[in-house]
A and B are shown apart, each in its own frame.
Chain A
Amino acid sequence: MIGYFTAVQSAEVLAELAETNPDVVLLSQDFGPVGSFTARFPERHFDLGITEQNLVGVAAGLAHAGLLPFVLAMAPFLSMRAFEQIRTDCAYNRNNVKFLAPFAGLEAGAWGATHHAIEDIALLRAIPGMTVLSPADPDEAVRAVRAAAAVDGPVYIRIGGLMPIDGYDAPFRIGEAVTLRDGDDLTIVATGPCVAAALAAHDALRADGIGARVVNVHTIKPLDRDVITAAARETERVLTVEEHSVIGGLGGAVAEMLSAIGVGRLERLGIRDVFCTEVCPYPDLLRLHGLDATGIETAARALLAG
């Protein structure tokens, strides 16, 4: 539920935006009141119940009528059940709809694979004209919502089980990855909750004299070509880390970019093309799939040894 509370916290930005912009409306699916937005703007919060296709179609219609809709819906169901409405009614028809998608990645934990969203990046980034954001901590999620509101076009904001990263307050500029730690031996390119784990892995590697650069890719699309290609040129080895399938996500996007320039050696850490069927809490699921700090550290050492 961490991601959901992050999403609600992010929705406070909407209440603030709604004060000055009468076009801001919020759509959700059986989530009850959303932060202070519902109490402050009851006419502008629409609960569409347990639907995804209709939810997104309605949002597209609202945008078509000139409003600025934000859709709050669970990442697995939003990205998969309403994929075509996002693609056709929002992106293809150039409707300005923003999506806040908590429960991204494995955060639903023991609720099981039905509730894991490990394909959403692959799906969403394949849509022409779509911006895909994946903030690394709760405060960055708030900054992402603010940045998304200023974009003229559909934006998907993926929100996983985010924990605060101490002292992290870099300005959020869409399309600009943030280098959080310097290092010359390899670059860990991470997104979402994996960024915090990558920072812990950086510390463990540093204790061994290994310099791991850590880059937070909060924007999956458009991907920051400058920062990622520079990392590949300067550190040669690149390890992508994401709570997503190794197919089509951040690792896929980086692979596409690096293969085009023929530089660097890439390893992709993520869900290895399996459903995560183990019954256990979220942190254990991350550990079992090698996505905690230890798993990242191990993958980094393997990449350096190879």
Chain B
Amino acid sequence: MPDTVTLALARRAARLRRHVLTVAASGPAHVGGALSAADLMAALFFHWLRLDDATQPRDHFILSKGHAVHILHACLVERGMIDAAELRTCGMLGSRLGGHPTRRAPGVEFATGSLGHGLSVAMGIALGEQLRRTAARTVVLMGDGELQEGSVWEAALAAPRFGLEHLLAIVDYNRLQACGRVDEIIPLEPLADKWRAFRWNVQEIDGHDLAAIVGALDTLPAAHGPSVIIAHTIKGKGVPGIEGTTAAHYAALADEDIARAVAALGVDP
């Protein structure tokens, strides 16, 4: 894969993180899980997903870890569907942008927030597209803490029964949930083995290595059954003061932390 693709996506991911920081500058926000998903979202929204309503097949994206909404809004800004200035209104009276994805915001396909819903919904969409014999892809991004919800495993058990080669689940495996380490609260390991045992096609990658992300996406669809990408990530990636800490989950960032992070990203707002 040409290096220019990953370089462009890396610049895009930096811009996405910059937009998340714009939201964080306005008040406390779920920044950690938004930032850990930035590279994945850059590759999905600006390389792999076909999201133009006017062309078919149109792919689908469900943000099952709805609290990472700011990275989705950031993608919608970069796609030109939301004005960058609107990010500063997030959560305020009259804004179209809330603390979880809602369908008030243009380009949000499904309203989420309660964890453990997205995989079933994505499975249903994929089933519908398969029934109509389209080649549309359905992608659902889940958090790792979210995998503690039993409904995820109902869907994981059911999906391979129906084929669903165009269904892709991605786990943003940043190892931290709201109040502690996933490994200490309810561990998921061996996570890849669990998905394999449920008959999914499993890839495990560094979720901040854009070449690896693009490589994993470009090898899909698999011959049989749905796929899952377990992406190892760092919560709060890109904001040095909070990277890899539970403090990143829902944070009010200090002005100097934001300024330092913005400088490190090296992109204009």
Contacts and interface: CB of A to CB of B under 8 A. Distances in A.
Interface of A: 25, 43-44, 46, 48-49, 51, 53-54, 56-67, 69, 84-85, 88-89, 92-94
Given A53-B151, A57-B151, A58-B120, A88 B126 contact: no
Contact of A54 (B109, B110, B123, B126): B123
Contacts, number: 90
Nearest to B155: A54
A182 to B, nearest CB: 47
A37 to B, nearest CB: 15
Given A48-B158, A51-B158, A54-B155, A67 B120 contact: no
Interface string B147-172: 00011001100100010000000000
A99 to B, nearest CB: 15
Interface stretch (B39-47, B48-56, B127-135, B190-198): B127-135
9 nearest CB pairs, A to B? A61-B124, A57-B120, A65-B128, A54-B154, A58-B124, A53-B151, A61-B125, A61-B121, A62-B124
Given A46-B162, A54-B158, A88-B117, A61 B131 contact: no
A67 B131 contact: yes
Contact of A62 (B113, B127, B154): B127
B150 A57 contact: no
B114 interface: yes
A54 B127 contact: no
Interface of B: 60, 103, 109-111, 113-114, 116-117, 119-129, 131-132, 150-151, 154-155, 158, 162
A67 B129 CA distance: 9
27 contacts: A46-B162, A53-B116, A54-B123, A54-B154, A54-B155, A57-B117, A58-B123, A61-B122, A61-B123, A61-B127, A62-B124, A62-B128, A64-B125, A64-B128, A65-B60, A65-B129, A67-B128, A67-B131, A69-B124, A84-B114, A85-B120, A88-B113, A88-B114, A89-B117, A89-B121, A93-B110, A93-B111
Contacts of A65: 60, 124-125, 127-129, 132
A248 B130 CA distance: 41
Contacts of B120: 53-54, 56-58, 60-61, 85, 89
A61 B151 contact: no
Determine chain B's interface SS by DSSP, over half rule.
Answer: helix
Nearest to B123: A58
B162 A57 contact: no
A93 to B, nearest CB: 5
B124 A60 contact: yes
A294 B60 CA distance: 57
A56 B114 CA distance: 15
A54 B151 contact: yes
A94 B113 CA distance: 16
A194 B122 CA distance: 40
A103 to B, nearest CB: 21
Nearest to B128: A65
Contacts of B103: 93-94
A139 B119 CA distance: 37
Among B114, B125, B126, B150, the one with the most A-chain Cβ atoms within 10 Å of its Cβ is B125
A53 B129 contact: no
Nearest to B102: A92
A65 B155 CA distance: 17
A88 B158 CA distance: 21
A61 B125 CA distance: 4
B179 to A, nearest CB: 22
A47 to B, nearest CB: 9
B223 to A, nearest CB: 21
Contacts of B113: 88
Nearest to A59: B124
Contact of A88 (B111, B122, B155, B162): B111
